[in-house]
Amino acid sequence: MPNCILVAAVQMVSGEDVPLNIQRAVAGIQKAADKGAKLVVLPEYFCLLSLNDQAKLDIAESFGDGPIQSALSQAAIDCGVWLVGGSIPLKSDDPARVFNSQLVFDPAGEVVARYDKIHLFNFTNGHERYRESNAVKAGQAVKVVDASIDKAISLRVGLSTCYDLRFPELYRAMGVVDLIVVPSAFTATTGQAHWETLLRARAIENQAYVLAAAQGGEHPGARQTWGHSMLIDPWGEIMAQMELGEGVMLGELDPERIAKVRASLPALNNRVIGINE
Protein backbone atom coordinates (compact mmCIF):
# COMPACT_ATOMS: atom_id res chain seq x y z
CA MET A 1 0.00 0.00 0.00
CA PRO A 2 1.23 3.54 -0.73
CA ASN A 3 2.56 5.39 2.33
CA CYS A 4 2.43 2.24 4.47
CA ILE A 5 5.44 1.54 6.68
CA LEU A 6 6.79 -1.96 7.13
CA VAL A 7 7.72 -2.54 10.78
CA ALA A 8 9.15 -5.58 12.52
CA ALA A 9 9.37 -7.26 15.91
CA VAL A 10 12.30 -9.59 16.57
CA GLN A 11 11.14 -12.35 18.91
CA MET A 12 13.88 -14.08 20.89
CA VAL A 13 14.55 -16.76 23.51
CA SER A 14 17.51 -15.12 25.22
CA GLY A 15 19.73 -16.88 27.70
CA GLU A 16 22.88 -16.06 29.68
CA ASP A 17 25.36 -15.96 26.76
CA VAL A 18 25.48 -12.22 26.06
CA PRO A 19 27.58 -12.31 22.84
CA LEU A 20 25.34 -15.03 21.41
CA ASN A 21 22.20 -13.09 22.31
CA ILE A 22 23.59 -9.99 20.60
CA GLN A 23 24.52 -12.04 17.54
CA ARG A 24 20.98 -13.40 17.28
CA ALA A 25 19.47 -9.96 17.76
CA VAL A 26 21.62 -8.45 15.01
CA ALA A 27 20.73 -11.32 12.69
CA GLY A 28 17.04 -10.63 13.34
CA ILE A 29 17.47 -6.93 12.64
CA GLN A 30 19.26 -7.72 9.39
CA LYS A 31 16.56 -10.18 8.34
CA ALA A 32 13.86 -7.57 9.02
CA ALA A 33 15.76 -4.92 7.05
CA ASP A 34 16.33 -7.29 4.14
CA LYS A 35 12.56 -7.70 3.91
CA GLY A 36 12.07 -3.92 3.85
CA ALA A 37 11.35 -3.02 7.47
CA LYS A 38 11.99 0.63 8.33
CA LEU A 39 11.54 0.29 12.10
CA VAL A 40 12.58 -2.74 14.16
CA VAL A 41 11.86 -3.55 17.81
CA LEU A 42 13.80 -6.01 19.97
CA PRO A 43 12.37 -7.68 23.11
CA GLU A 44 13.02 -6.72 26.72
CA TYR A 45 16.42 -7.93 27.96
CA PHE A 46 17.31 -9.27 24.51
CA CYS A 47 20.96 -9.31 25.61
CA LEU A 48 20.50 -11.36 28.80
CA LEU A 49 17.65 -13.21 30.49
CA SER A 50 18.65 -14.83 33.76
CA LEU A 51 17.04 -15.55 37.12
CA ASN A 52 20.25 -14.34 38.74
CA ASP A 53 19.82 -10.65 39.59
CA GLN A 54 23.60 -10.24 39.85
CA ALA A 55 23.92 -11.04 36.16
CA LYS A 56 22.26 -7.72 35.26
CA LEU A 57 24.69 -5.85 37.47
CA ASP A 58 27.68 -7.67 35.99
CA ILE A 59 26.96 -6.60 32.40
CA ALA A 60 25.49 -3.14 33.12
CA GLU A 61 26.92 -0.40 30.92
CA SER A 62 27.29 3.33 31.43
CA PHE A 63 24.94 5.24 29.17
CA GLY A 64 26.67 5.92 25.85
CA ASP A 65 29.47 3.43 26.35
CA GLY A 66 29.70 -0.33 26.07
CA PRO A 67 29.65 -3.27 23.66
CA ILE A 68 25.88 -3.81 23.78
CA GLN A 69 25.14 -0.20 22.87
CA SER A 70 27.84 -0.22 20.21
CA ALA A 71 26.36 -3.34 18.63
CA LEU A 72 22.90 -1.76 18.49
CA SER A 73 24.25 1.46 17.01
CA GLN A 74 26.20 -0.41 14.34
CA ALA A 75 23.19 -2.59 13.49
CA ALA A 76 21.05 0.50 12.96
CA ILE A 77 23.71 1.94 10.64
CA ASP A 78 24.37 -1.28 8.72
CA CYS A 79 20.67 -2.02 8.25
CA GLY A 80 19.51 1.57 7.74
CA VAL A 81 16.62 1.22 10.20
CA TRP A 82 15.09 2.93 13.18
CA LEU A 83 15.92 0.53 16.00
CA VAL A 84 14.13 0.23 19.33
CA GLY A 85 16.75 -1.71 21.25
CA GLY A 86 14.45 -3.72 23.48
CA SER A 87 15.99 -3.08 26.87
CA ILE A 88 19.45 -3.35 28.40
CA PRO A 89 20.79 -2.82 31.93
CA LEU A 90 22.36 0.63 32.36
CA LYS A 91 24.19 1.71 35.51
CA SER A 92 22.39 3.88 38.05
CA ASP A 93 23.67 5.85 41.04
CA ASP A 94 22.86 2.80 43.18
CA PRO A 95 25.57 0.12 42.83
CA ALA A 96 23.03 -2.57 43.77
CA ARG A 97 20.51 -1.66 41.06
CA VAL A 98 20.48 -0.86 37.36
CA PHE A 99 17.99 0.86 35.08
CA ASN A 100 16.03 -1.34 32.66
CA SER A 101 16.62 0.99 29.73
CA GLN A 102 15.13 1.15 26.26
CA LEU A 103 17.27 3.01 23.71
CA VAL A 104 16.08 4.21 20.32
CA PHE A 105 18.63 4.56 17.51
CA ASP A 106 18.08 6.40 14.25
CA PRO A 107 19.47 5.01 10.95
CA ALA A 108 22.69 6.97 11.55
CA GLY A 109 23.24 4.97 14.75
CA GLU A 110 22.58 7.90 17.07
CA VAL A 111 20.62 7.47 20.30
CA VAL A 112 17.60 9.74 19.92
CA ALA A 113 15.69 8.60 23.02
CA ARG A 114 16.18 6.72 26.26
CA TYR A 115 13.33 5.34 28.37
CA ASP A 116 13.97 3.81 31.79
CA LYS A 117 11.21 1.36 32.71
CA ILE A 118 8.90 2.95 35.27
CA HIS A 119 6.77 0.03 36.50
CA LEU A 120 8.79 -2.85 37.95
CA PHE A 121 7.36 -6.36 37.79
CA ASN A 122 6.35 -8.08 41.02
CA PHE A 123 4.56 -11.43 40.82
CA THR A 124 4.09 -14.44 43.07
CA ASN A 125 2.27 -17.58 41.97
CA GLY A 126 3.32 -20.64 43.93
CA HIS A 127 6.94 -21.39 43.03
CA GLU A 128 6.95 -18.70 40.33
CA ARG A 129 8.25 -15.50 41.92
CA TYR A 130 9.68 -12.31 40.46
CA ARG A 131 10.66 -9.06 42.11
CA GLU A 132 12.30 -6.82 39.54
CA SER A 133 12.84 -4.04 42.05
CA ASN A 134 15.48 -6.16 43.83
CA ALA A 135 18.03 -5.23 41.16
CA VAL A 136 16.35 -2.52 39.09
CA LYS A 137 15.76 1.15 39.82
CA ALA A 138 12.52 2.60 38.48
CA GLY A 139 12.58 5.33 35.88
CA GLN A 140 10.62 8.53 36.36
CA ALA A 141 10.00 10.08 32.93
CA VAL A 142 7.52 9.31 30.15
CA LYS A 143 9.25 9.33 26.75
CA VAL A 144 8.01 9.90 23.21
CA VAL A 145 10.20 10.14 20.12
CA ASP A 146 9.53 11.51 16.62
CA ALA A 147 10.82 9.07 14.01
CA SER A 148 11.21 10.50 10.52
CA ILE A 149 10.85 7.38 8.43
CA ASP A 150 11.34 9.34 5.21
CA LYS A 151 10.65 12.83 3.89
CA ALA A 152 6.93 12.11 3.68
CA ILE A 153 6.27 10.16 6.88
CA SER A 154 7.06 10.86 10.51
CA LEU A 155 5.78 8.77 13.40
CA ARG A 156 5.26 9.88 16.97
CA VAL A 157 6.32 6.83 18.97
CA GLY A 158 5.51 6.21 22.64
CA LEU A 159 8.00 4.09 24.59
CA SER A 160 7.02 1.49 27.18
CA THR A 161 8.37 -1.82 28.47
CA CYS A 162 6.58 -5.04 29.48
CA TYR A 163 4.87 -4.52 32.88
CA ASP A 164 4.13 -0.90 31.92
CA LEU A 165 1.39 -2.39 29.75
CA ARG A 166 -0.84 -2.77 32.82
CA PHE A 167 -0.86 0.96 33.60
CA PRO A 168 -3.03 2.90 31.10
CA GLU A 169 -2.23 6.23 32.74
CA LEU A 170 1.32 5.95 31.37
CA TYR A 171 0.01 5.89 27.82
CA ARG A 172 -2.37 8.80 28.42
CA ALA A 173 0.61 10.81 29.65
CA MET A 174 2.28 10.30 26.25
CA GLY A 175 -0.32 12.47 24.56
CA VAL A 176 -1.39 11.60 21.03
CA VAL A 177 0.96 9.06 19.44
CA ASP A 178 0.89 7.06 16.21
CA LEU A 179 2.71 4.00 17.50
CA ILE A 180 3.29 2.46 20.92
CA VAL A 181 6.20 0.03 21.28
CA VAL A 182 6.23 -2.62 24.00
CA PRO A 183 9.44 -4.69 24.24
CA SER A 184 8.52 -7.46 26.67
CA ALA A 185 9.35 -10.66 28.50
CA PHE A 186 5.87 -11.59 29.76
CA THR A 187 5.78 -14.82 31.71
CA ALA A 188 3.82 -17.69 30.21
CA THR A 189 1.35 -17.49 33.11
CA THR A 190 0.55 -13.79 32.85
CA GLY A 191 0.90 -13.76 29.08
CA GLN A 192 -1.65 -16.47 28.48
CA ALA A 193 -4.10 -14.68 30.76
CA HIS A 194 -3.66 -11.03 29.79
CA TRP A 195 -1.14 -10.30 27.00
CA GLU A 196 -3.47 -9.98 24.01
CA THR A 197 -6.21 -8.26 26.03
CA LEU A 198 -3.87 -5.60 27.36
CA LEU A 199 -2.21 -4.94 24.00
CA ARG A 200 -5.54 -4.54 22.22
CA ALA A 201 -6.87 -2.30 24.98
CA ARG A 202 -3.88 0.06 24.72
CA ALA A 203 -4.35 0.24 20.95
CA ILE A 204 -8.08 0.88 21.15
CA GLU A 205 -8.05 3.50 23.88
CA ASN A 206 -5.15 5.44 22.35
CA GLN A 207 -6.26 4.90 18.74
CA ALA A 208 -2.69 4.03 17.83
CA TYR A 209 -0.77 1.07 16.48
CA VAL A 210 0.89 -1.13 19.09
CA LEU A 211 4.02 -3.12 18.21
CA ALA A 212 5.09 -5.61 20.88
CA ALA A 213 8.32 -7.63 20.58
CA ALA A 214 8.45 -10.50 23.04
CA GLN A 215 10.65 -13.16 24.53
CA GLY A 216 9.04 -16.48 23.68
CA GLY A 217 10.25 -19.78 25.05
CA GLU A 218 12.18 -21.51 27.85
CA HIS A 219 15.09 -19.71 29.48
CA PRO A 220 17.68 -20.64 32.15
CA GLY A 221 16.10 -21.73 35.43
CA ALA A 222 13.08 -23.14 33.55
CA ARG A 223 11.65 -19.65 33.15
CA GLN A 224 8.92 -19.64 30.51
CA THR A 225 7.99 -16.55 28.49
CA TRP A 226 4.83 -16.20 26.44
CA GLY A 227 6.04 -14.89 23.09
CA HIS A 228 3.17 -13.95 20.73
CA SER A 229 4.77 -10.77 19.40
CA MET A 230 2.03 -8.69 17.80
CA LEU A 231 1.18 -5.68 15.68
CA ILE A 232 -2.25 -4.27 16.49
CA ASP A 233 -4.01 -1.48 14.62
CA PRO A 234 -5.88 1.52 16.13
CA TRP A 235 -9.20 -0.36 15.97
CA GLY A 236 -7.77 -3.20 18.04
CA GLU A 237 -7.38 -5.65 15.17
CA ILE A 238 -4.37 -7.97 15.18
CA MET A 239 -2.49 -7.32 11.95
CA ALA A 240 0.38 -9.76 12.54
CA GLN A 241 1.51 -12.14 15.27
CA MET A 242 3.85 -15.00 16.13
CA GLU A 243 3.52 -17.85 18.59
CA LEU A 244 6.58 -19.24 20.39
CA GLY A 245 10.22 -19.46 19.37
CA GLU A 246 12.64 -17.09 17.70
CA GLY A 247 11.86 -15.26 14.50
CA VAL A 248 10.95 -11.98 12.84
CA MET A 249 7.38 -10.74 12.62
CA LEU A 250 6.57 -8.18 9.94
CA GLY A 251 3.53 -5.97 9.55
CA GLU A 252 2.35 -2.80 7.83
CA LEU A 253 1.52 0.42 9.61
CA ASP A 254 -0.85 2.67 7.64
CA PRO A 255 -0.99 6.35 8.71
CA GLU A 256 -4.29 6.73 6.84
CA ARG A 257 -5.80 3.99 9.02
CA ILE A 258 -4.96 6.04 12.12
CA ALA A 259 -6.63 9.12 10.65
CA LYS A 260 -9.75 7.22 9.58
CA VAL A 261 -10.25 5.59 12.99
CA ARG A 262 -9.86 8.91 14.80
CA ALA A 263 -12.19 10.70 12.38
CA SER A 264 -14.96 8.09 12.64
CA LEU A 265 -14.71 7.73 16.44
CA PRO A 266 -13.18 10.92 17.90
CA ALA A 267 -12.62 9.43 21.34
CA LEU A 268 -9.34 11.27 21.89
CA ASN A 269 -11.12 14.59 21.38
CA ASN A 270 -14.10 13.53 23.51
CA ARG A 271 -12.10 12.89 26.69
CA VAL A 272 -13.25 14.86 29.71
CA ILE A 273 -10.41 15.44 32.17
CA GLY A 274 -10.83 16.42 35.80
CA ILE A 275 -14.46 15.46 36.32
CA ASN A 276 -15.74 16.54 39.75
CA GLU A 277 -17.62 13.83 41.60
Q: Provide the annotated active-site residues.
A: 44, 117, 162
For helices 67-79 and 18-34, the axis angle rounded to 10 degrees is: 10
Report DSSP state, residue 99.
E
Burial class (CB in 10 A: 0-12, 13-18, 19+), 262: middle
CA angle at 10 for the pair 5 and 12, rounded to the nearest 5°: 170
CB 202 within 8 A of CB 168: yes
CB 58 within 8 A of CB 16: no
The CA distance from 31 to 8, in Å, is: 10
Query: CA-CA distances (angstroms) from residue 119 to 19, 36, 139, 188?
Result: 28, 33, 8, 19
